């Protein structure tokens, strides 16, 4: 019998119950017992849903009060000293949330800053980075996993606890205070794994899932070598171990992974189907092979017929040793499609969320184990009908969009002249001072703005009243910028809920769910738009707002758009065409908008590519291809304009060392980036590469309400001017100001403009 199992289920709840409980708890509106009750209720419900769907081994340990990596840090006692209170011997839920969110000090410096957060591989989930010290000690300090195993068993479930493997856990952390290799901590950490596995075995657990997703990365040799040693030691624990890999192929780690002395291996065949035959050949004959064939990272229904072809083949070879699962934890999927009562029937028939994905996994197992079962044939027929309806749907396949893409010529992604010529014309036309000042686009999203948008969406505010409310915000923003003496103004983005959703709503080929929430971090959830079909712009998306703003001032007004790569990265993409094709279609839609803005008299257009870097593949070998199509997509949307029109781009980070050539290949006239927190050190990449175009290195950190002084910003700018020729420097904040309040925004911008004037010598 092939076994249906799951690697992890979303913990947020189908109505984001966990988010609501966390936030109520943080506000003091819910006590700890209340919060714990919500968690218990969610876990019980999720196990039951999975079981009802037909999952035979249920994951335990996928629930977390904030983040699963943080749970591991507590389990191992990896608690930075700033969170250790003297009286409490053991960490508490307060400790956990303090590590996740920081604590507010009573006076200036009593607070402990939160642990750093970063992206979980190439997903949009963020985990809390473990902090290791050279003398790091590990001690079992948190009972959650064992308690939840008891809890599930008491409910009568067959469970498979999930732990992050020791090497992946160490890899995800950071060495703090002193230069040491975190691999040196391994020998101290391993006894804890031994304890954990033994305790789970004592609880009657038969199988444990040990996640080692770093096996899908390019690993240094020392880390590869450590694998065998680690699992030789852990194999003594008296229970069966399944190593789970996901988000990519094993490639050069394949032999290593296949031969680890454990009882099973899970591989991701959605991301890396090509690894299947080799794994089958290399897998020792005693081992279980779990095939991840249902995509845990997207919202589309699985093509069951196609998956079954692989499974039938695998079953012939493996028999009982075949397991079936989603490709990765369903943490990255929305919870339950049944909640979507307002989606049109056709689209709904194409989608599957976590609950439905569990059903798909179970159905695949059934199709192997009991092919004659009556519901199997029906489900397969239905899956085939879904694939057929998608393949033929005019909602997906649009000949005009495809024809336009096919007609794109190399010259379309090339500005008419080189930067050196363009900049001369731009300088003449824009007439800006040295060290021109600007902002990144958004101004504070006040509750008045959000209320107006909500009221309009609910039909409580007429269109005319809504437009007037937004115009009034624009007037306010323009007036403030003029008073501040900024050089290139923005309209403030009051009308935008989100930099992707705002455009997606106006691009044909996108669809939206109402409950398709996915955890981003802690209580933060995102609801990505879904790319359903070929994408095209039907009418101008921003021109009215921007020209209204331009009409209020004689200063230069910068048009503000979101770039194709970011649109793609922050949406659920199609699976029937490549990411590249989707990016190019988006690029053409945005190109039309750029040209409309230019035709309407807008002389500077910024195209944000906040997610450009995060699109980088996990494996270096795949970088070049990505960078090529991603830069090309950007150029395709930016290159239709005249030399005189200045194209800006913005990126919310500063790690450019390894991609600087591609950043240059985007050929934006001006790039604004995040540098203030790194003290301009990260401009080194631009200097070394002799980056040719203009740069605005952010001079103040917008993530904090703190108002930077003029002196600080002058210092940063002088530092920047040592690396970048002064005539190519812009002066701007790190990112958009939508999360800030007006008072601190104005105060900071006064200082920023003063800093620029000081550099010009006109202060």
- Residues catalogued as catalytic: 703
Should residue 499 be labelled a site residue for ligand GLN when binding is judged by CB under 6 A? yes
- Which H/E stretch holds residue 35? helix 32-53
Tokens 């035979």: give the residue: 56
Residue 440 or 754: the one with the smaller Cβ distance to ligand GLN is 440
- Of the candidates 680, 690, 673, the one whose C-alpha atom is nearest the C-alpha of residue 718 is 680
Residue 671, helix vs strand vs coil:
strand
Token readout for 174 is: 């950071």
675 CA to centre of own chain:
21
Residue 627 or 735: the one with the smaller Cβ distance to ligand GLN is 735
- Of the candidates 684, 673, 668, the one whose C-alpha atom is nearest the C-alpha of residue 722 is 684
Other C-beta atoms closer than 10 Å to the C-beta of 221 total 7
Residue 364 or 477: the one with the smaller Cβ distance to ligand GLN is 477
Residue 48 or 739: the one with the smaller Cβ distance to ligand GLN is 739
Other C-beta atoms closer than 10 Å to the C-beta of 54 total 16
Distance CA 290, CA 55 (A): 14
Should residue 145 be labelled a site residue for Zn ion when binding is judged by CB under 5 A? no
Pair 53, 355: CB distance under 8 Å: yes
Choosing from 189, 291, 735, 753, the residue that interacts with Zn ion (CB under 5 A) is 735
Min dist. Cβ of residue 589 to ligand GLN (A):
18
Residue 608 or 632: the one with the smaller Cβ distance to ligand GLN is 608
Min dist. Cβ of residue 382 to ligand GLN (A):
41
Residue 292 or 696: the one with the smaller Cβ distance to Zn ion is 696
**Alpha-carbon separation of residue 458 from 116, 344, 461, 466 (angstroms):** 38, 20, 8, 12
Min dist. Cβ of residue 737 to ligand GLN (A):
7
**In the beta sheet, which residues pair with residue 649?**
607, 671
**Alpha-carbon separation of residue 490 from 121, 552, 555 (angstroms):** 34, 11, 10
Min dist. Cβ of residue 746 to Zn ion (A):
20
The stretch near ligand GLN (CB under 6 A) out of 42-50, 57-65, 161-169, 435-443 is 435-443
Min dist. Cβ of residue 544 to ligand GLN (A):
18
441 makes contact, choosing from Zn ion, ligand GLN, none, with CB < 5 to 8 Å by partner type, with ligand GLN
Torsion angles phi and psi, residue 189, rounded to 5: -80, -35
Choosing from 442, 542, 547, 631, the residue that interacts with ligand GLN (CB under 6 A) is 442
Please give the DSSP secondary-structure letter assigned to residue 446: -
Min dist. Cβ of residue 497 to ligand GLN (A):
11
Choosing from 308, 518, 560, 581, the residue that interacts with ligand GLN (CB under 6 A) is 560
Should residue 605 be labelled a site residue for ligand GLN when binding is judged by CB under 6 A? no
What is the size of the binding site for ligand GLN (CB under 6 A)?
A: 13
390 makes contact, choosing from ligand GLN, Zn ion, none, with CB < 5 to 8 Å by partner type, with none
Min dist. Cβ of residue 408 to ligand GLN (A):
26
Tokens 């930075």: give the residue: 80
Residue 37 or 448: the one with the smaller Cβ distance to ligand GLN is 448
547 makes contact, choosing from Zn ion, ligand GLN, none, with CB < 5 to 8 Å by partner type, with none
Burial class of 357 by CB neighbour count within 10 A (0 to 12, 13 to 18, 19+): buried
Choosing from 14, 398, 738, 757, the residue that interacts with ligand GLN (CB under 6 A) is 738
Should residue 563 be labelled a site residue for ligand GLN when binding is judged by CB under 6 A? no
Min dist. Cβ of residue 515 to ligand GLN (A):
25
Residue 590, helix vs strand vs coil:
helix
Choosing from 652, 659, 664, 720, the residue that interacts with Zn ion (CB under 5 A) is 652
Find all residues with CB under 8 Å of 559, minimum gap 6, and list them: 542, 546, 594, 597, 602, 604, 605, 606
Should residue 469 be labelled a site residue for ligand GLN when binding is judged by CB under 6 A? no
The stretch near Zn ion (CB under 5 A) out of 280-288, 471-479, 575-583, 648-656 is 648-656
**Alpha-carbon separation of residue 65 from 62, 81, 100, 213, 719 (angstroms):** 10, 21, 10, 22, 42
Residue 363 or 489: the one with the smaller Cβ distance to Zn ion is 489
Min dist. Cβ of residue 562 to ligand GLN (A):
8
Pair 70, 115: CB distance under 8 Å: yes
Min dist. Cβ of residue 587 to ligand GLN (A):
18
The stretch near ligand GLN (CB under 6 A) out of 120-128, 182-190, 286-294, 732-740 is 732-740
Please give the DSSP secondary-structure letter assigned to residue 729: B
Residue 419 or 653: the one with the smaller Cβ distance to ligand GLN is 653
- Bridge-based pairing state of the strands 556-562 and 604-608: parallel
The stretch near Zn ion (CB under 5 A) out of 33-41, 180-188, 273-281, 735-743 is 735-743
**Alpha-carbon separation of residue 151 from 14, 44, 134, 156, 215 (angstroms):** 21, 8, 37, 9, 31
The stretch near ligand GLN (CB under 6 A) out of 237-245, 399-407, 434-442, 480-488 is 434-442
Token readout for 259 is: 């031969």
Distance CA 112, CA 100 (A): 11
Residue 610 or 724: the one with the smaller Cβ distance to ligand GLN is 610
Should residue 735 be labelled a site residue for ligand GLN when binding is judged by CB under 6 A? yes
Q: Alpha helices of 236-302 — where are they, by DSSP H?
A: 254-259, 276-282
x/- letters, 635..674, toward ligand GLN (CB under 6 A) = ---------------x-x----------------------
The stretch near Zn ion (CB under 5 A) out of 113-121, 405-413, 460-468, 646-654 is 646-654
Should residue 611 be labelled a site residue for ligand GLN when binding is judged by CB under 6 A? no
Distance CA 699, CA 679 (A): 9
What is the size of the binding site for Zn ion (CB under 5 A)?
A: 2
Distance CA 708, CA 476 (A): 23
380 CA to centre of own chain:
33
Residue 5, helix vs strand vs coil:
strand
Should residue 610 be labelled a site residue for ligand GLN when binding is judged by CB under 6 A? yes
Should residue 608 be labelled a site residue for ligand GLN when binding is judged by CB under 6 A? yes
Write out the residues near ligand GLN by the rule CB under 6 A: 440-442, 493, 499, 560, 608, 610, 650, 652, 735-736, 738
Write out the residues near Zn ion by the rule CB under 5 A: 652, 735
């Amino acid at each position: 019998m092939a076994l249906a199992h799951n690697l992890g289920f979303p913990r947020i709840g189908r109505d984001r119950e966990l988010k609501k409980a966390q936030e109520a708890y943080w506000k003091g509106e819910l006590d700890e017992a209340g919060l714990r009750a919500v968690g218990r209720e969610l876990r019980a419900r999720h196990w039951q849903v999975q079981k009802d769907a037909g999952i035979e081994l249920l994951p335990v340990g996928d629930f977390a009060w904030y983040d699963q990596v943080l749970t591991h840090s507590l389990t191992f006692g990896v608690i930075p000293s700033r969170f250790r209170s003297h009286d409490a011997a053991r960490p508490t839920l307060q400790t956990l949330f303090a590590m996740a969110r920081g604590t507010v000090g009573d006076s200036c410096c009593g607070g402990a800053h939160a642990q750093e957060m970063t992206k979980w591989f190439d997903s949009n989930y963020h985990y809390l980075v473990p902090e290791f010290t050279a003398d790091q000690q590990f001690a079992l300090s948190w009972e959650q996993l064992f308690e939840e195993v008891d809890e599930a068993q008491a409910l009568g479930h067959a469970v498979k606890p999930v732990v992050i493997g020791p090497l992946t856990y160490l890899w995800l952390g950071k060495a703090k205070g002193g230069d040491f290799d975190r691999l040196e901590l391994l020998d101290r950490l391993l006894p804890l794994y031994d304890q954990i596995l033994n305790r789970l075995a004592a609880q009657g657990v038969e199988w444990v899932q040990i996640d080692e997703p770093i096996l899908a990365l390019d690993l240094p040799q020392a880390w590869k070598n450590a694998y065998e040693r680690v699992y030789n030691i852990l194999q003594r624990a008296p229970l069966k171990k399944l190593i789970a890999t996901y988000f990519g192929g094993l490639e050069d780690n394949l032999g290593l992974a296949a031969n680890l002395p454990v009882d099973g291996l899970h591989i991701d065949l959605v991301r890396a189907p090509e690894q299947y035959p080799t794994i089958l050949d290399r897998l020792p004959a005693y081992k279980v092979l779990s095939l991840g064939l249902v995509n845990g990272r997207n919202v589309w229904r699985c093509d069951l017929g196609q998956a079954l072809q692989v499974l039938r083949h695998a079953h012939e070879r493996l028999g009982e040793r075949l397991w079936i699962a989603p490709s990765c934890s369903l943490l990255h999927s929305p919870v339950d499609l049944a909640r979507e009562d307002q989606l049109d029937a056709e689209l709904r028939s194409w989608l599957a969320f976590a609950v439905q994905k569990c059903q798909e996994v179970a159905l695949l197992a059934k199709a192997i184990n009991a092919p004659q079962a009556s519901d199997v044939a029906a489900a397969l027929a239905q899956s085939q009908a879904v694939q057929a309806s998608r393949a033929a749907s005019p909602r997906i396949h649009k000949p005009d969009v495809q024809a336009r893409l096919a007609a794109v010529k190399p010259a379309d992604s090339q500005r008419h002249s080189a930067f050196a010529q363009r900049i001369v014309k731009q300088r003449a036309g824009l007439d800006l001072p040295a060290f021109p000042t600007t902002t990144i686009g958004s101004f504070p999203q006040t509750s008045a703005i959000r209320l107006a948008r909500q009221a309009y969406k609910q039909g409580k505010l007429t269109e005319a009243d809504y437009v007037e409310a937004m115009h009034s915000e624009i007037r306010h923003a323009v007036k403030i910028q003029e008073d501040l003496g900024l050089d290139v103004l923005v309209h403030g983005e009051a009308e935008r809920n989100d930099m992707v959703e705002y455009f997606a709503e106006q691009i044909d080929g996108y669809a939206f769910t109402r409950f398709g929430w996915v955890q981003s971090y802690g209580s933060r959830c995102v609801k990505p738009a879904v790319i359903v079909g070929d994408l095209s712009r039907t009418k101008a998306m921003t021109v009215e707002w921007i020209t209204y703003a331009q009409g209020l001032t004689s200063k230069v007004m910068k048009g503000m758009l979101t770039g194709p790569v970011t649109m793609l990265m922050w949406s659920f993409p199609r699976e029937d065409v490549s990411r590249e094709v989707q990016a190019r279609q988006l690029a053409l839609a945005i190109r039309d908008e750029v040209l409309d803005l230019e035709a309407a008299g807008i002389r500077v257009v910024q195209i944000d590519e906040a997610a450009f870097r995060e699109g980088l593949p996990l494996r270096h070998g795949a970088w070049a291809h990505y960078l090529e199509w991603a830069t090309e997509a950007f150029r395709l949307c930016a290159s239709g304009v005249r030399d005189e029109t200045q194209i800006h781009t913005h990126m919310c980070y500063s790690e450019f060392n390894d991609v600087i050539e591609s950043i240059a290949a985007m050929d934006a006239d001006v790039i604004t980036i995040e540098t203030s927190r790194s003290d301009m050190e990260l401009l080194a990449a631009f200097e070394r590469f002799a980056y040719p175009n203009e740069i605005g290195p952010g001079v103040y950190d917008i993530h904090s309400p703190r108002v930077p002084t003029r002196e600080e910003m002058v210092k940063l700018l002088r530092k920047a001017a040592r690396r970048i020729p002064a005539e190519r420097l812009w002066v701007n904040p790190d990112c958009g100001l939508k999360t800030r309040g007006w008072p601190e925004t104005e105060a900071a911008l006064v200082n920023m403009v003063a800093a620029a004037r000081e550099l010009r010598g006109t202060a």
